[in-house]
Amino acid sequence: MRGFLISALALIALILLVNGADVFVPLAVAMLVWFLINAIANGIRRIPLGGSGLPRSVALFFAVAVILGCGVLVVDLIIRNVSAMSARRIDFSSSLNPLIDKVAEWIGVSNTDVLNKFFDTIGIEQLLGKIVSTTASFSGQLGVVLLYVVFLLVEQQFFDLKLRALIRDDKRRELVQGILSAIAHDVQKYIWIMTVVSALTAGLSYAVMHWVGLDHLAFWAFLIFILNFIPTIGSILATALPTLFALVQFQGFSEALTLFIAIGLIEMAVGSLLQPRLAGKSLNLSQFVVVLSLFVWGAIWGITGMFLAVPLTVIVMIVFSNVETTRPVAILLSQDGSLASLADRAKAARRRRR
């Protein structure tokens, strides 16, 4: 009976997530930003200043200022580069025609209809246009996300009081507080890891693109940084998109091939080797589950779901591991099946928060 009830609740939750995407997606992004702000604030408080750290309210103020400053720079970067691309009015299909002719001549094909159909099937123009428009339209949701973040920051000082009012039993309240603290700790740690890995990948790629002479360097570096938050597929897109743009810009294969090989090697070395080891080991999340969650959350919330796939799956694993009925599912989600130390990690995370 309990299993049936849990299955029914899971089905209802899935229906709500799919049909309420307009509400839940900005809320999920806002919670991720909220986690990031608290992580930055905790880092600021650890800076020794005269023997003691800054008060939490002051640290939160500086953390919000950092996030707002980065947000303004990102929006300005997107608007300027999208406007520049639109002003150039690049016809990708026409620009690629000389390249198609070169390929046809190189492989000895006189009729280029086959190659034209091949490029049309890939949909290079549509792909690039969709990526650019999606990146640009993200700025339209910033207002709603910012509103959610403000309310979360205001309300977080009352969380413990509300929890005490909701749960009278001390042991149950201790468990819930531990779960929430563990979630906050693991999500913040994942954000830090991915930020470092993505920044390293974007920085190295920026150097390569600058050496080749690719236009809109800052935009492509930022896009690579963002795409690396998507497991597996993000690395592929981060390699393919600058390469395709190089084909259009240089009208030749040498520069595009250089970018493809260089960025691909960077993604393989940093993204495929370093990132899974750091993220998987620290979160105890199976790499197969990471890839599976990418497609599951992508099917539910689209591109945003892909960005949030790992943090959301981590939250599900932590919650399931503390419910006896769903604990076997959490074991399957984990990397090595070891969940014995999760309660201790939850308590330790709560102590750090204090």
Q: From residue 249, how far is each of 39, 44, 53 by CA, in Å? A: 40, 43, 51
Q: What integer pLDDT is reported at residue 136 of this predicted model?
A: 55
CA–CA dist 8, 55 (Å, integer): 45
Number of domains in the chain: 1
| Full-model pTM | 0.76
With a CB cutoff of 8 Å and minimum separation 6, the contacts of 198 are 224, 225, 226, 228, 229
Name the residue range of residue 32's domain. 2-353
Q: What integer pLDDT is reported at residue 189 of this predicted model?
A: 81
**pLDDT 10s per residue in the chain (354 long)?**
666 676 777 778 788 888 887 788 888 888 888 888 888 888 888 777 665 667 888 888 888 898 888 878 877 777 777 666 655 555 555 665 666 666 666 666 554 555 555 555 555 555 555 555 555 555 566 778 888 888 888 888 888 888 888 888 878 887 777 778 878 878 888 888 888 888 999 999 999 999 998 888 888 998 899 888 887 788 888 888 888 888 878 777 788 889 999 999 998 888 667 766 665 556 677 778 888 888 888 888 887 888 888 888 888 888 888 777 778 888 888 777 666 554 555 555 545 545
DSSP state, residue 215: S
Contact between residue 197 and residue 270 where contact means Cβ atoms under 8 Å apart = yes
Q: Is 145 exposed, middle or buried (0-12, 13-18, 19+ CB in 10 A)?
A: buried
Q: What integer pLDDT is reported at residue 334 of this predicted model?
A: 79
Cα-Cα-Cα-Cα dihedral of 328, 329, 331, 332, to 10°? 120
CA–CA dist 174, 163 (Å, integer): 10
Q: What integer pLDDT is reported at residue 39 of this predicted model?
A: 82
Closest CA to 187 of 287, 283, 51, 257: 283
Q: What integer pLDDT is reported at residue 262 of this predicted model?
A: 93
Q: What integer pLDDT is reported at residue 82 of this predicted model?
A: 66
CA–CA dist 293, 285 (Å, integer): 11
Helix (H, G, I), strand (E, B), or coil: what is residue 98? helix
Q: What integer pLDDT is reported at residue 232 of this predicted model?
A: 77
